[in-house]
Chains A and B, each alone.
Chain A
Amino acid sequence: MSKITQTQITELLCQRLACFTDVEAEISPETNLITHLAIDSVKLLNLIMEIEDQFDISVPLNALVDVLTVQDLANLIYKIKLSS
């Protein structure tokens, strides 16, 4: 798990996000979580908890203010994972 790459994180996120959204859409790194997938704040917070457990990290909610796309979220997770 420690050698996980940014691409792997992005792929994993795309898979998980498909379960969290009711919107039928192709999910790519550029997909906007709110405008494209209609992920509301509560869904996003629950997704974050799952991600935290999956990668054994803590993602502070305040770090999410800069997250718009799947790629932004993947970058954040990668950064936290690297420094943990």
Chain B
Amino acid sequence: MNLLEKLDAAAAARKAQLPEGLAAFGIPIDESYSATEARIGERRVLMLGTNNYLGLSFSAECREAAHKAIDQEGTGTTGSRMANGNYYGHRALERELAEFYHCRECIVFTTGYQANLGTISGLAGAGDVVLIDGDAHASIYDGCILSGADVIRFRHNDVIDLEKRLRRLGDRSRDTLIIIEGIYSMLGDQAPLAEIVKLKNVYQSTLLLDEAHSLGVLGETGQGLVEKSRMINEVDFITGTFSKSLCGIGGFCVSNHPQLNQLRYVSHPYIFTASPSPATIASTRAALQLLRDGSSLREQLWKNAYQLYSCLKETGYCLGPEPGPIVAVLLDSPKRALTLWNGLMAHDIYVNLVLPPAAPEGKSLVRCSINAAHTTEQISRVCETFSKLYPTVTQ
């Protein structure tokens, strides 16, 4: 099989899996009206499948900051942070994030994906070990591959399994980077951080926590799981993204280890790419301020999350392990998941469809994500629709 034939074979396999399901992926959003509504074709749909947790995508402060930055600094930096792309805004955002986490160092990357790639491959190398949660995001897997380290998975959120694997490493546990996430992107459950910190201290390993989905969502000021668990002094490196609750694009790593700064000189995903545009950085800085002051947004977000989780549970749906802004409905076949997804679309509700192998444990998911801008009425409408559709996925 030549290169192109291999792609044809992959396309055929994808079509064969669920021919009628192809339309669910990469659906064209024709117009975006607000943090909760968009137009898809002729339909005005309720968006229940974004990562816009605080509902800030249309905030006046962020838009104004972005407009101003475009007018003053232009549309793009046209260069790397290591060359001509290191603007005042990038450095200011790094200072603000470091201060937000009470950390000495911060590096801003062009995407959250690159933040993981750059941090992991900058920290670990050949001969080292990276121990990752089995449900880790693809950016973590890819960072591990780029690092050249030995990559070992432990069972998702299973502290006993993690310890077993640390023990097997013997002395190598000291050269080991453990990687977990604050909130896991598919099932929406949280890492048992306090227990993992205990282990990493016993085995003298290094811990990296990806707060992509927990930034703005957990903790009093929205730092993430690290704040909720009061573990800021115990976690070595925190990565995160601007593309979810901060409604921009970009990523970061913060740490109290001064060595983080060295990554600027060795990390290809930091060096060999253009820096984020001035508008992105400006809106992210404005969003960070709103996020820090956003306890009422968090309150509303959690109220919405509990409302949806409890009503779907009552209806009889099988859900992810705990309530949160990601409510994953687990279905035992891709066909059933697609039936539910189509049913929701027919009622003008957009959610994410996740099929194997992207979903954990061979399940298929209808993944809902809630934000602070959803109204109680909107969530009630979603609940009623799910309840109406229940018979179609159980027969």
B76 contacts partner chain A, Cβ-Cβ < 8 Å: no
A sample of 10 inter-chain contacts (CB < 8 A) reads A40-B356, A40-B357, A42-B356, A42-B362, A52-B165, A57-B168, A58-B150, A58-B152, A61-B144, A62-B150
Across the two chains, which residue of chain A brings its CB closest to B357? A42
Query: How far, in whole Å, are A59 and B154 apart by their CA atoms in the complex?
Result: 11
Asked if A60 meets B152 with Cβ closer than 8 Å, knowing A41-B357, A42-B356, A49-B134, the reply is yes
Number of interface residues of A (CB under 8 A): 18
Render A37-73 as a binary contact track against B, CB cut-off 8 A, 1 for contact. Answer: 0001111010011001100111111110000000000
Q: Any chain A CB within 8 A of the CB of B22?
A: no
For residue B145, give the distance in angstroms from its CB to the closest CB of chain A.
Answer: 7
Kindly list chain A residues whose C-beta atoms are within 8 Å of the C-beta of B164. 53
Residues of the A chain whose Cβ atoms lie less than 8 Å from the Cβ of B197: none
Total A-B residue pairs with C-beta atoms closer than 8 Å? 39
- Shortest Cβ distance from A59 into B: residue: B152
Contact of B134 among A41, A45, A58, A62 (CB under 8 A): A45
Complex Cα spacing A1 to B273, Å: 50
Q: Does more than half of chain A's interface fall in helix, strand or loop, or is it mixed?
A: helix
Query: Please, how many angstroms separate the alpha-carbon atoms of A57 and B167 in the complex?
Result: 10
A49 to B360, CA, bound (A): 15
Apart from A60-B129, A63-B150, 9 more pairs, CB < 8 Å:
A42-B362, A45-B153, A49-B155, A58-B150, A60-B151, A61-B152, A62-B144, A62-B151, A84-B168
Chain B residue contacts of A56, Cβ below 8 A: 168
What A residues does B134 contact at CB under 8 A? 45, 49
* B169 on interface, CB distance cutoff 8 Å: yes
CB nearest to A40 among chain B residues: B357
| Bound CA span A84–B172, Å | 12
**Option from A42, A49, A58, A59 in Cβ contact (under 8 Å) with B169:** A58
A59 to B155, CA, bound (A): 14
Tell me the chain B residues, 146-180 only, with Cβ under 8 Å from chain A: 148-153, 155, 164-165, 168-169
Which partner residue on chain A sits nearest B362 by CB separation?
Answer: A42
On whether the beta carbons of A60 and B150 are closer than 8 Å, the reply is: yes
Are A62 and B145 neighbours in the complex by a CB distance under 8 Å? yes
Which residues of B from 343 to 376 have beta carbons under 8 Å from A?
356-357, 362
